[in-house]
Chain A
């Protein structure tokens, strides 16, 4: 395991049918803002199994 780690944690969320260039831009309401497009993380940063299927998309 690497000591120095860098992990991309930005991804699109197909579950919510979000398009980051469109609906996720919190400019217009739904009526309130699409907060589920930018959810808080729940992964354990020490093991980095972040993506839903446990794999990195890079």
Chain B
């Protein structure tokens, strides 16, 4: 487009482009391509005018300090990034609430575990392999809960523990089979991979069940120091090799727990050499045994600073729409524990929304509107930040220790006010 044409044209934001104003600046969201663009304070009134539609002449009147070239260049930049159009009749994309109450559930089938990981998010006393351990939810309860969640929209499920394969007998596999029959599209078991055998691997292969696991180091002395069980590294790695050989879907998380920090890159490389495709470095949350890390100043200093990255990942139109109505996690996910408690996140051990032994899952979700609808428009600082619809908020970290549910995120360095 030539300069002369621009001067005589009409412009409006593209139907998939949304402007969000912050305390001082703004952001333009391209929800079609999942991109976000920062807009400086001087450009805010110009973009606001473009939201309504404007000619070059009308834009010039906004600020006479701006020369023609400045406005022309800005329009060209918007045009280059496909953020504006000259079609006044283009139909704006809608920001609609999700159609279902749920998308994903964590099913915490047992708190028992054969490992003793130093950062376990479950209360430390429950992590031991207690002989007298009992679970309140029986297999028939689990089937009902999983069925209810599916009727509320959940299509993805993760079985987790403790160690889920410590469920009695073949209960877990029976439950997974029933889940599959219900029509769940994605089924994953989060396991430490120490208890797998040929029968289990056959089952996972046959029913297309995915596996997620954690590896803490590239050597036994690192991994076993975290799990506190000698031999766990060899066991896990041997089973990872079997999983890969069978082509079972696998994700591996490397949870950073301080002592393995120097070996993170080596661990990623080690896993890549094994053939693992999906690897992610994760951090601990202030829950269960991991609280000890949050109480240690040194750990806070290294880990909280680690993620002050000044940019955002691509986001989806669905994510952008959803976070206008719901919290990015609490809105469509819940965890159900083996005692029937419903938590808005598996790490939110102290936020109990209800119990499926007393109320239906649907009633529990309806009653927990305040938590589920905790959008960033209600959270301190976020509500005045222009990036509030592409940023990811972890409330569990934000509210620790003893902060309000709406406290500003602890890890965010961005200041929308200056």
Residues from 31 to 48 in B contacting A, C-beta threshold 8 Å: 34-40, 42-43, 46
A27 to chain B, nearest CB (A): 6
Determine the chain A residues whose CB is within 8 A of the CB of B311 once the complex forms: 9-11, 13, 39, 41, 43, 50-51
Contact of A4 among B74, B268, B328, B333 (CB under 8 A): B74
CA–CA, A29 to B210, complex, Å?
A: 12
Determine the chain B residues whose CB is within 8 A of the CB of A40 once the complex forms: 308, 387, 391, 409, 411-414
Q: Are B314 and A10 in contact (CB under 8 A)?
A: yes
A11 to chain B, nearest CB (A): 5
The winner among A3, A13, A27 for most chain B CB atoms within 10 A is A3
With A13-B309, A20-B313 as contacts: A32 and B285 at CB distance below 8 Å: yes
Q: Are B212 and A7 in contact (CB under 8 A)?
A: no
Bitwise interface map of A from 14 to 58 toward B, beta carbon under 8 Å scored 1, else 0: 011110111111111111111111111111011010111000000
Determine the chain B residues whose CB is within 8 A of the CB of A48 once the complex forms: 38
With A3-B42, A9-B312, A13-B309 as contacts: A42 and B414 at CB distance below 8 Å: yes
Chain A's closest residue to B40 (CB) is A5
CA–CA, A37 to B71, complex, Å?
A: 34
CA–CA, A29 to B106, complex, Å?
A: 8
Q: Are B35 and A23 in contact (CB under 8 A)?
A: no
Contact of B66 among A3, A10, A32, A50 (CB under 8 A): A3
Q: Are A4 and B43 in contact (CB under 8 A)?
A: yes
The winner among B103, B310, B311 for most chain A CB atoms within 10 A is B311
Given contacts A2-B74, A10-B314, A30-B251, 18 further A-B contacts (CB under 8 A): A4-B43, A6-B28, A8-B35, A8-B37, A9-B37, A13-B313, A15-B281, A17-B281, A20-B34, A20-B313, A26-B392, A30-B253, A33-B345, A41-B312, A41-B387, A41-B391, A42-B413, A51-B311
Cβ contacts A to B, 5 pairs, < 8 Å:
A2-B70, A4-B40, A6-B37, A15-B309, A31-B190
Q: Using a CB–CB distance below 8 Å, which chain A residues touch chain B?
A: 2-13, 15-18, 20-43, 45-46, 48, 50-52
Q: Using a CB–CB distance below 8 Å, which chain B residues touch chain A?
A: 25, 27-28, 34-40, 42-43, 46, 65-66, 70-71, 73-74, 77-78, 81, 83, 103-104, 106, 156, 158, 160, 186, 188, 190, 212, 251, 253, 268, 278-283, 285, 307-316, 319, 328-329, 333, 345-347, 387, 390-394, 396, 409, 411-414
